[in-house]
Amino acid sequence: MKLSKGFWAIITIMLVLIADQSLKIWVKTHMYLYQDFEITSWFHIHFTENNGMAFGIEVIGKMFLSIFRIIASCAIAYYLYLLVKRKFSTGYIICIALIFAGAVGNIIDCVFYGVIFDSSFDTSMFYPDGMIARMFPPEGGYSTWLHGKVVDMFYFPIIKTTWPEWMPFFGGNKFVFFSPVFNLADSAISVGIAILILFYRKTLSKDIDSKKENA
């Protein structure tokens, strides 16, 4: 039995969302903020939260960013629907599904997490060992709808070194590659985009050209 391309898109989206949210909820309810588990010297589970875009980048306001994410995800969903309807290749459709799933995964954090979780702390006067967040606390969450923070946990300090003293500006400073902390949703977006660029540039280019001609 041959499975439809729409089925593969749905399966991809569901697997990413389930894995992403399961991991985020576990981290949020089992780790305090900035807690770090060293799996290997180059791979850590490091709990952080951010108000911004992928990899903790913060450029624009939280409310605007949340609304922009929702609109962009709706546009990607419609594009994905058109791809399935127009019978594009399964691989190309799965790439777009990965990008869509990653976007939705982070939207869930932004929309709901401020309401369904209370705050996570690293250390404070009252919680010297850190405070682990609770899900659905009776007194309410740490923020309001659309103001939740995105949970990140993957940290890959592949190279840790110090810049030589003779270097201008950076001499003596520590250097870590790769320093951003990210999550599974970010990874899905990055993988989807990377595969598109590496293997589907012609398909993407033809699709863009066809849209220009129709316009």
Boundaries of every domain in the chain:
46-214
Identity (one letter) of the amino acid at 71?
Answer: I
CA dist 184 and 52 (Å) reads 16
pLDDT of 187-204, one tens digit each?
A: 999 999 999 999 998 887
The catalytic residue among 118, 152, 207, 209 is 152
CA dist 209 and 215 (Å) reads 10
Nearest to 103 by CA among 12, 185, 182: 185
Q: Is the model's pLDDT at 210 over the cut of 90?
A: no
Q: Is the model's pLDDT at 96 over the cut of 90?
A: yes
Query: What angle do the packed helices 184-199 and 201-214 form, to 10 degrees?
Result: 80
Nearest to 20 by CA among 135, 152, 120: 152
pLDDT for residue 62 = 76
Q: Is the peptide bond before 156 cis (omega within 30 degrees of 0)?
A: no
122 as an active site residue: the answer is: no
If you average pLDDT over every residue of the chain, what do you get? 89
Question: Strands (DSSP E) along 55-210, which ranges?
Answer: 150-155, 159-162, 174-177, 181-182
Show the tokens assigned to 174.
Answer: 């520590």
The catalytic residue among 20, 109, 118, 186 is 186
pLDDT of 21-79, one tens digit each?
A: 999 999 999 999 999 999 999 999 999 999 866 555 555 667 888 888 999 999 999 99
- Residue 115: pLDDT band by 50, 70, 90 thresholds? very high
207 as an active site residue: the answer is: no
Total-model pTM: 0.88
pLDDT for residue 201 = 87
